[in-house]
Amino acid sequence: MINSDSDQPSSVEDILETGLLDNWYLVARDTDVDTGPIPLKRLNRNIVLWRGEDRKLLCVEDFCPHRGAKLSVGRVCDGNLACAYHGVQINGNGEFAAIPTEPESPYIGQKAIRHYPVQEAHGAIWVYFAIDEDAEPPELIFPEEFYTGEWSGFVDIRSFECNHGLIRDNQLDPIHGSFLHAGTHALSWGHTAGELGFERTKLGFVVFRKYQQNVNLDRTEVFRYDGCGFWTVTDLQYQEHEGGGTVRLFRSPTPIDRENTLVYNYRLQKRSGWERDLWRFLYKNRVAERGAAVLEQDRVALTTIPADAQQRETLLQLDVGVSHIRRMYRTEAERQFKKITGMISAAAE
C-alpha cells in the first residue's frame, strides 16, 4: 500500500522539499505524548500519536475515515482513537475498531487509513515514513556513541521557520561558525580563513579545515544508515568554565512542511563518575542556554534566505560539503520517485 493521493509526492522536487521517505524521523520528545491524542505535522503530513494499551505509542494519519474529521480532536477509548464527531474508533493499524452506531458493521476490522511505525528512543519519539506502508520497517539505528554507555548528554528540539534543506546545508558548512557565531561561548576562537578538505567514507563523507583542528567547527562528518536517514556529527571544544572537554553534536532536520523544520541536536560528552555528574550540572545551568543562543543565530540567518535562493547563489570552495549533500539527497529522491511511479503503474494494471 502506498500513500494516499493527498500525501503522494508528485515529483523529485516534491520529495526534496517535504522529505525523503523510507526513513525514521525524530518527531517529538518522548514526554510530549502522555495519553494523547497529539496532532503533529511532519513531512507535510498530518499525523496523530497516542498511547494505547500498556502505554504503547501508536501513530496514524490524522483523518477519520467516516467523514474526515481530525482524529486528534477525539479521545483515547479502550486503547483506540475515538473520533469526536460520531465516536468511530480507529486502532493503531489504521483499522476500524468499533462503530458505536453500527456495532455489527462489516467495516469493523477493515483497513481504513495509513498507520506509521513508531518507537521511543533516547528521549525522543521516532516515526517511520514509508513509501510502501506494507513493507517491514528497518531497525532504528543510532551512532555507536548512543550504545556504549560511555557518553552522556541531552537532546535539544526546536522549530525553525524555513525548509529543512537549509538546515541540512547549514550543518555541512563548518566555516559559518567563525562568522555567524563569532563571539559566542564556544565558537569565539580560531581563524576565519580556511580551505576545506573533503574525504569520502564508507557511509558518507567528512569535510574539515585543512589548517585548523579542535578549535571551532573544524570537522563535520555525515553518514547514513539505510532506512535511518542522515546523521551529521560535529565536535565542539568547550572551555574549562563550562566543564571543558569535547561535546559531540549529532543532528539531522525533520521536515514539518515546506516552510518549517524540526531541528534537533543531541549533545553528548564522554565522561564517567563525578565528572559526568559535573558535566550534566554545568550543561543544565550554563551550556543549554548559551547553546540555544547559538541556534537562534542560525534560525535568524536561515529564515532570511528566500525559497528560490539556489537559482541565484554562487557556491564557493567552503561549500564542498553543501554541494555533496545536495547531490546525495537528489540521487536518493530520484530513486524514490522512480519506485513510487513504478508502484503506481503496477497498481493500475
The answer to whether residue 9 sits within a structural domain is no
Q: What residue numbers bound the domain in which 203 lies?
A: 144-329
Please identify, among 129, 157, 174, the residue that sits at the C-terminal boundary of a domain: 129
pLDDT band at residue 185 using 50, 70 and 90 as cut-offs:
low
Asked if 175 and 124 sit in the same domain, the reply is no
The answer to whether residue 294 sits within a structural domain is yes
Average pLDDT, the chain: 90
Asked if 107 and 61 sit in the same domain, the reply is yes
Query: Could you read off the pLDDT of 250-300 as tens digits, one per residue?
Result: 999 999 999 999 999 999 999 899 988 988 888 888 778 877 888 899 999
Looking at residues 170-185, what average pLDDT do you find? 80
Residue 80 DSSP code: E
Residue 181 has pLDDT above 90, yes or no: no
State the Cα–Cα distance between residues 251 and 222, nearest whole angstrom: 10
The answer to whether residue 48 sits within a structural domain is yes
Asked if 307 and 183 sit in the same domain, the reply is yes
State the Cα–Cα distance between residues 14 and 6, nearest whole angstrom: 12
Asked if 98 and 168 sit in the same domain, the reply is no
Asked if 311 and 288 sit in the same domain, the reply is yes
The pLDDT assigned to 99 comes to 96
Residue 7 has pLDDT above 80, yes or no: no
Asked if 293 and 182 sit in the same domain, the reply is yes
Asked if 191 and 163 sit in the same domain, the reply is yes
Asked if 202 and 84 sit in the same domain, the reply is no
Looking at residues 155-175, what average pLDDT do you find? 94
The answer to whether residue 295 sits within a structural domain is yes
CA of 260: how far to CAs of 32, 69, 124, 245, 326, in Å? 19, 24, 19, 33, 19
Looking at residues 148-160, what average pLDDT do you find? 93
Count the alpha carbons within 13 Å of 203 in the hemisphere toward its beta carbon.
Answer: 14
Looking at residues 220-246, what average pLDDT do you find? 82
Q: How many domains does the chain divide into?
A: 2
Highest mean pLDDT (candidates 162-176, 229-243, 272-286): 162-176
Q: Which three cell numbers stand for residue 213?
A: 583542528
The pLDDT assigned to 47 comes to 98
The answer to whether residue 213 sits within a structural domain is yes
Max CA pair span of the chain: 73
The pLDDT assigned to 191 comes to 62
The answer to whether residue 16 sits within a structural domain is no
The pLDDT assigned to 154 comes to 92
Please identify, among 79, 95, 129, the residue that sits at the C-terminal boundary of a domain: 129
CATH of the domain at 56: 2.102.10.10
Looking at per-residue pLDDT, the higher value among 191 and 292 belongs to 292
CATH of the domain at 159: 3.90.380.10
Looking at residues 109-120, what average pLDDT do you find? 96
Asked if 175 and 284 sit in the same domain, the reply is yes
The pLDDT assigned to 343 comes to 87
Please identify, among 86, 106, 129, the residue that sits at the C-terminal boundary of a domain: 129
The size of the chain, in residues, is 349
Residue 340, burial from CB neighbour count under 10 angstroms (0-12, 13-18, 19+): buried
Residue 223, burial from CB neighbour count under 10 angstroms (0-12, 13-18, 19+): middle
The pLDDT assigned to 192 comes to 65
Query: Could you read off the pLDDT of 316-340 as tens digits, one per residue?
Result: 998 999 999 999 999 999 999 999 9
Which residues does residue 81 pair with via DSSP β-bridges, in sequence order? 76, 90
The pLDDT assigned to 306 comes to 94
The pLDDT assigned to 189 comes to 57
The pLDDT assigned to 340 comes to 93
| Consecutive H or E run containing 333 | helix 320-348
Looking at residues 174-199, what average pLDDT do you find? 73
pLDDT band at residue 188 using 50, 70 and 90 as cut-offs:
low
Asked if 112 and 179 sit in the same domain, the reply is no
Sheet of strand 118-121, all strands in order from the earlier edge strand to the far edge: 23-29, 124-129, 118-121
The pLDDT assigned to 1 comes to 46
Looking at per-residue pLDDT, the higher value among 217 and 249 belongs to 249
Query: Could you read off the pLDDT of 84-107 as tens digits, one per residue?
Result: 999 999 999 999 999 999 999 999
Asked if 110 and 203 sit in the same domain, the reply is no
The answer to whether residue 306 sits within a structural domain is yes
Looking at per-residue pLDDT, the higher value among 228 and 233 belongs to 233
Query: Could you read off the pLDDT of 23-39 as tens digits, one per residue?
Result: 999 999 999 999 889 99
pLDDT band at residue 126 using 50, 70 and 90 as cut-offs:
very high
**End-to-end alpha-carbon separation of the chain, Å?**
15
Buried b / exposed e across 129-165, counting CB within 10 Å, b at 16+?
bbbebeeebbebbbbebeeeeebbbbbbbeebebbbb
The one-letter code for the residue type at 122 is H
The answer to whether residue 194 sits within a structural domain is yes
Residue 2 has pLDDT above 50, yes or no: no
Asked if 243 and 290 sit in the same domain, the reply is yes
Looking at per-residue pLDDT, the higher value among 195 and 142 belongs to 142
